[in-house]
Structure 1
Amino acid sequence: MLMAVQWVRSLIFMIVIYAWMLILGIVFLPYALFSKAGALRACKTYARSTMWLARWMVGIRCEVRGRVPTNEVVIAAKHQSFLDIIIIFDAIPHGKFIMKRELLFTPVIGMYARRLGCIPVNRGKRGAAVTKMVKDVSKEFSEPGQLVIYPQGTRVAPGAKKPYKVGTAVLYEGLGFPCVPVATNAGVFWPRTGVMRKPGLAIVDFLDPIEPGVGRDEFLARLEDVIETRSNELMREVGFDPDGAHS
């Protein structure tokens, strides 16, 4: 019975937050079209209100740990669900995301992503996509901000394994910025598929930066080790065993 009630609450929550996205997108549209600050304000408003709704409607509390970067950095984040995007975006001053190109053509999200300076990537062209990504990022960083990239390239369910891609290392080398790894357990409560949202503490943890100058292979090994180790710790902290998730 309790599970059925939580499922219904989750369904209502999902309807509310996507309707709210559309409403905010329309309300802020005149401001956002003429001002990047307007687009940023709209997206910050959406992130904060969604986290508030998550706590009130489905019992998900959000917590940020570690030192949140405010300077120009590459943020390499574990990606388990839409929730970790929201928490990270709310925490940093001016986030710009590496995102799949298809999202540019979605209602509301596409227009605001362009205004924020997000970088679209054609994931089907591999090497060419990475080269273009570095060029586009270098051009976009004429304005300050924090560049968020997901090293595994997509959402990965808690406990699942997926390799870290070279694109993050290429950006780290090409930009010469520190790289801040980010761990999370958000997918335990807000899974990447389905309706059900589970109550609990969703955590995003900003870890110690990897300073410029580390070789590509060593960088990727260190990045994967710190993100996966800390994400597993955060999942165990809330009672989820990542080692037994797919056994």
Structure 2
Amino acid sequence: MRLLRSALFNVCFYVVIVILMLAALPALARGGDAIESHARRWARWTIALLDHICGVKVEFRGLENLPAGPAVVAAKHQSTLDVLVLLLAVRRFTFIYKRELDFLPLFGAYLRGCRQISIDRSKRAGVLSQIVTAAKAKFAENRRLIIFPEGTRRPVGAPPVYKGGVARIVEATGVICVPAALNSGLFWPRHRFIRPPGKMVVEFLPPISSGLDKDNFMRVLQAQIETATDRLVAEAVDTDASLAPAATEAGLSRS
């Protein structure tokens, strides 16, 4: 049954993408907020499909920790679902993406129109400077930058690999950083077809000030995100033991 439900969800997920990309064409002329509205609609519809087809419910915690002004939201990254829940919860969002995506038919036009940060990875020595400069401009527009400090999706229980770029952004701009923990890898894992039922949680943690040096900032950031993520994973497994295979022993016992 889970196989059939997961197959149905995957079909509906891609059908929704096509429908919304076509429906949003008029928004390209207006750009900005109009495209963001369609992006949030995509997130809402996907989350609704997950709930009604696969039995995956999404819960947001700690929304009061998101400031009204500019901020860096530094999140754990386990799943494609992370992008959807974050763009739904974080208003006036900005993501960082590789410039190659600009050349995807239609999708690239939406990224450009939605005021996201495109980086040229061929200029390795200057990538971080590109991001800092772009982030300052976004913060001046009262936007919030969503960043994944590990750079890519990591399976539940995988040893954390945090990169210091987020510390450089916070140091250079003086904005606060809001860590975010989640357990999405249990329900939409990378390279896995099955979407098991349960409660996916994204939790926004108390902000970290910009006054720490890089090493201490990264130490605090990693400790807060990993501790909360382990707690959310363990909470889900305690509720439904069938999720235990996805929550590896390393993930639940990592210090």
TM-score by length of structure 1 reads 0.91
Hey, what does 2:58 align to over in structure 1?
62
Q: 1:186 to 1:139 in 2, by over 3 A?
A: same
2:84 counterpart of 1:82:
no
Pick aligned residue for 1:243 from 235, 246, 249: 249
1:107-143 deviation digits (Å, cap 9, x = unpaired):
4432222222211234465442111111222233342
**For residue 49 of structure 2, what is the aligned residue in structure 1?**
53
How many Å apart are 1:92 and its aligned residue? 1.4
Moved more, 214-223 or 161-170: 161-170
Assess, with a 3 A threshold, how the Cα gap between structure 1 residues 79 and 18 changes in structure 2: closer, same or farther. Answer: same
Q: Which amino acid aligns with 1:228?
A: E
* Greater Cα shift, 19-28 or 42-51: 19-28
Give the TM-score normalised by the residue count of structure 2. 0.89
Asked if 2 retains the 8 angstrom alpha-carbon contact of 1:160 and 1:246, the reply is no
One-letter amino acid of the structure 2 residue matched with residue 186 of structure 1:
S
Q: Aligned pair in 2 of structure 1 residues 218, 242: CA closer, same or farther (>3 Å)?
A: farther
Answer whether contact 2:74 2:166 (CA < 8 A) is retained.
yes
Q: Which amino acid aligns with 1:172?
A: V
Q: After superposition, give the CA deviation of every residue in 1:158-203 in whole Å (9 maximum; x if it has no partner).
A: 0011311111111111111000000000111110113211111000
2:240 is matched with which residue?
A: none
Number of aligned residue pairs: give it.
243
The within-5 A match list for 1:150-161 is 150-161=148-159
Q: Secondary structure at the match of 1:238?
A: helix
Extract unaligned runs of 5+ from structure 2: 238-243
Which residue number corresponds to residue 26 of structure 1?
A: 22
Deviations 1:43-66 (A, max 9, x none): 011111110111001111000001
| Secondary structure in structure 1 of the residue aligned to 2:40 | helix
Deviation at 1:33, TM superposition (A): 2.6
1:115 alignment counterpart? 113
What does residue range 102-181 of structure 1 map to in structure 2 within 5 Å?
102-123=100-121, 125-181=123-179
- Structure 2 counterpart of 1:17, from 13, 16, 35: 13
SS of equivalent residue, structure 1 residue 64: strand
Q: Give yes or no for contact 2:132–2:169 (8 Å, CA) kept in 1.
A: yes
SS, match of residue 190 in structure 1:
coil
| Structure 1 pair 100–161 and aligned structure 2 pair: CA distance change class (3 A) | farther
- What is the distance in 1 between the residues matched to 2:49 and 2:65? 23
* Structure 2 partner of 1:191: 189
> Separation in 1 of the partners of 2:11 and 2:49?
12
Q: Cα 1:100–1:35, aligned 2, differ >3 Å: closer, same or farther? A: closer
Q: Quick check: 1:22–1:108 contact (8 Å CA) kept in 2?
A: no
**Alignment partner for residue 99 of structure 2, among 91, 98, 101?**
101
How far apart are 1:216 and its partner, in Å?
Answer: 0.7
Cα distance change on mapping 1:231 and 1:123 into 2, 3 Å: farther
Aligned alpha-carbon RMSD (Å): 1.9
Q: CA-to-partner distance for each residue in 1:66-117, whole Å, 9 max, x for gaps?
A: 1251321000000110112111111111111122333333344322222222
Structure 2: distance between partners of 1:123 and 1:29: 29
Paired-residue identity, %: 35
The CA distance in 2 between the partners of 1:186 and 1:109, in whole Å, is 24
Question: Residue type matched to 1:234 in 2?
Answer: L
